[in-house]
Amino acid sequence: MMLRYTVVRGGLGLLAVRRACLSPRFSHSAPQSEYRPIKKVMVANRGEIAIRVFRACTELGIRTVAVYSEQDTGQMHRQKADEAYLIGKGLAPVAAYLDIPNIIQVAKDNNVDAIHPGYGFLSERSDFAQACQDAGVRFIGPSPETVRKMGDKVEARSLAISAGVPVVPGTDGPISCLQDAQVFAETYGFPVIFKAAYGGGGRGMRVVREYEELEENYQRAYSEALSAFGNGALFVEKFIEKPRHIEVQILGDKYGNVVHLYERDCSIQRRHQKVVEIAPAFQLDPHLRNRLHADAVNLAKKVGYENAGTVEFLVDRNNKHFFIEVNSRLQVEHTVTEEITDVDLVHAQLHVCEGRSLPELGIKQDKIRVNGCAIQCRVTTEDPSRGFQPDTGRIEVGLILKGLEGRDHVWTAETLLLLTCRLQSPEKVCRLR
């Protein structure tokens, strides 16, 4: 569950995302032969992201299709779509949403023009993007080849180097054995970090601070990566102590145009999972901000990036930045970027997939401005008695923060960020307003 807050003109309040209006007289016309309107979209996902995409489609007059597992028959995303179809009969919920042949067949049987993968599940699977393409169904995202390149952290790192983007010192490719990790650690010193070569989200990731811990953490990282991604390949990097984690939102079209929509600070994390997102990043050196934006755009142009994506960086204590990865999809946190730029990213995704250019959509770099700031807080439910494992349950306790005499207080972004950190507790749920 994500809570979003926006500070505008010194006040704090929930704002709806203002939609960018399209003029009938475009400043730039994409080749007409490339433009193919989308009439029906399937979302190969469930929950909040499916509903978010359905809303955008409805606003654009596009018919919507939901898919659902047997266990999700009563879920809201099924009710919000114009059509809904069962997938993965007899399978567990997650397996159902990973059943590529079934999803593709449902799309073909029901004249679906395009599939939006949402986030999670199949969103960064190049084989799914390729299956869509092979079936004549458009994939609302980058090309299969781009998804493959960005999903392979080793190749993405190599591409970043060739684009002149700084990277954290690390192995050029997946290591083949523990001895490779030992040589790297002896060369660069501790701490080092193991990372899964073919996945993210904190799985297959282990920090090692001394030689005695190397073998155990290598085995654990390998096992986690193999279990989560079907491939235990690892690479090793020098571990950056207490960095800031800054990510840049990018958007590209089919004609080589790429823009950035500024950045988000997601430094506050727990178990490598983001807890707080703030846009734009606060107290970021202006020159560093410009370098981050430029490097993100240059890398995207290097790979011919199309549609929405995020380029992620670490910033050390000396304000040096290092590329870490590209998320070739829409992220959970995209809404804070929408709040500050007034650009509807899902609308843009759909239009780019149709073949429209960014200039045609009125999305030009010199026209994108930051308006206020926005914060998104992730509230998770966990069970302290089971080592804080993820849990479900009813929210029964809430905390509303009010100003003096019952009036809402004007909280600054920095104050909210610090307050949110202090309120993090698996036994309390807070609501800021």
**Domain regions of the chain by residue span:** 2-14+242-423, 36-140, 169-238
Helix (H, G, I), strand (E, B) or coil at 164: coil
Residue 433 pLDDT more than 50? no
Please identify every residue annotated as catalytic. 329
Among the residue ranges 38-47, 110-119, 215-224, the one predicted with the least confidence is 215-224
- At the fourth CATH level, which superfamily is domain 169-238? ATP-grasp fold, A domain (3.30.1490.20)
Residue 297 pLDDT more than 90? yes
Residue 9 pLDDT more than 50? no
Residue 333: predicted pLDDT: 94
Residue 281: predicted pLDDT: 96
Looking at the structure, give the CATH architecture of the domain made up of residues 2-14+242-423: 2-Layer Sandwich (3.30)
CA distance 305 to 141: 9
Which pTM does this prediction carry? 0.79
* Percentage of the chain exceeding pLDDT 70: 83
More confident residue, 390 or 367: 367
Q: Which of 329, 327, 359, 366 is nearest to 254 (CA)?
A: 359
Class of domain 36-140: alpha beta
Among the residue ranges 82-91, 131-140, 193-202, 308-317, the one predicted with the least confidence is 193-202
Task: Count the neighbouring beta carbons within 10 Å of the beta carbon of residue 73.
Answer: 10
Residue 429: predicted pLDDT: 34
Residue 22 pLDDT more than 70? no
Burial string for 230-248 (b: 16+ CB within 10 Å, else e) reads: eebbbbbbbbbeebbbbbb
Residue 21: predicted pLDDT: 40
Please, is 422 exposed, middle or buried when counting C-beta atoms within 10 Å of its C-beta (0-12, 13-18, 19+)?
Answer: exposed
CA distance 7 to 25: 34
Helix (H, G, I), strand (E, B) or coil at 313: strand
Average pLDDT over residues 48-66: 98
400 pLDDT tier (thresholds 50, 70, 90): low
Q: What tens digit of pLDDT does each residue of 355-383 get? A: 999 999 999 999 999 999 999 988 778 88
CA distance 326 to 315: 16
Among the residue ranges 57-61, 244-248, 329-333, 425-429, the one predicted with the least confidence is 425-429
